[in-house]
């Protein structure tokens, strides 16, 4: 039976100059990381590019001595890959649309409280960005959107509160969403986690 060396020992061996240690790490996690990347981009060439970019970043970080995720090598590499996937979609100005629960989710693979905190930070940033965007809308559209989205009011309730017809409230909501999309597109803003 072959004894498997811990990732953390391989990382420290690599940092100490043992190039073979990195090869062992890459071979050990190649399938899992490649499958994860492919599940998002659905293209073999792009998967290979992102996989290589991931390990270029890993090597640079290890060489600089900036790695401090003791014992959490795979989750750290998966986060790097995840960020590079997002960068890829941003560069191509399209974010993947994930629907249903059958899609692969990085948070189901990596059980790490830091990711939950990271996810919360991203959500807070998106909420903050969205609030700033909403402020750019005309007052009548902003009012309807806030009542509908944040106060969960029906269009009948919005109509009664604003003194306009239901159709006018619906129209204002529609224009608010159209204008938000224009602002997002114009400024190349990505509102996704």
Tens of pLDDT along 95-146? 555 544 455 555 554 444 455 666 677 777 777 777 788 888 899 998 998 8
* Whether residue 153 has pLDDT greater than 90: no
Here the tokens at position 26 are: 């890459």
Secondary-structure percent of the chain, ordered helix, strand, coil, rounded to 5 = 75, 0, 25
What pLDDT does 193 receive?
53
User: Cβ(162)–Cβ(143) under 8 Å?
Assistant: yes
pTM: 0.48
Here the tokens at position 11 are: 């990382």
CA 101 to chain centre: 17
What pLDDT does 67 receive?
82
Rounded distance, CA 150 to CA 132, Å?
14
Rounded distance, CA 145 to CA 62, Å?
48
Reported residue count of the chain is: 193
Strands (E), 21-97: none
Q: What 8-state DSSP symbol labels residue 4? A: P
Tens of pLDDT along 5-36? 888 889 889 989 999 999 999 999 999 999 99
Domains and CATH numbers, the chain: 1-99 (1.10.1740.10), 111-193 (1.10.10.10)
Rounded distance, CA 31 to CA 38, Å?
10
Rounded distance, CA 137 to CA 108, Å?
37
């Amino acid at each position: 039976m072959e004894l498997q060396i811990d990732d953390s020992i391989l990382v420290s061996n690599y940092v100490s100059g043992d190039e073979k240690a990195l090869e062992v790490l890459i071979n050990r996690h190649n399938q899992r990381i490649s499958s994860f990347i492919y599940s998002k981009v659905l293209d073999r060439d792009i998967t290979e590019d992102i996989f290589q970019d991931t390990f270029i970043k890993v090597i640079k970080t290890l060489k600089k001595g900036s790695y401090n995720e003791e014992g959490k090598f795979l989750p750290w590499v998966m986060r790097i890959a995840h960020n590079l996937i997002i960068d890829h979609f941003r560069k191509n100005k399209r974010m993947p649309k994930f629907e249903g629960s059958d899609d692969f989710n990085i948070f189901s693979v990596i059980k790490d409280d830091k990711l939950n905190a990271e996810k919360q930070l991203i959500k807070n940033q998106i909420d903050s960005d969205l609030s700033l965007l909403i402020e750019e809308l005309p007052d009548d559209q902003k009012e309807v959107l806030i009542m509908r989205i944040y106060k969960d009011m029906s269009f009948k309730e919005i109509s009664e509160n604003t003194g306009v017809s239901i159709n006018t409230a619906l129209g204002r909501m529609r224009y608010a969403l159209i204008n938000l999309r224009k602002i997002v597109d114009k400024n190349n803003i990505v509102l996704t986690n």
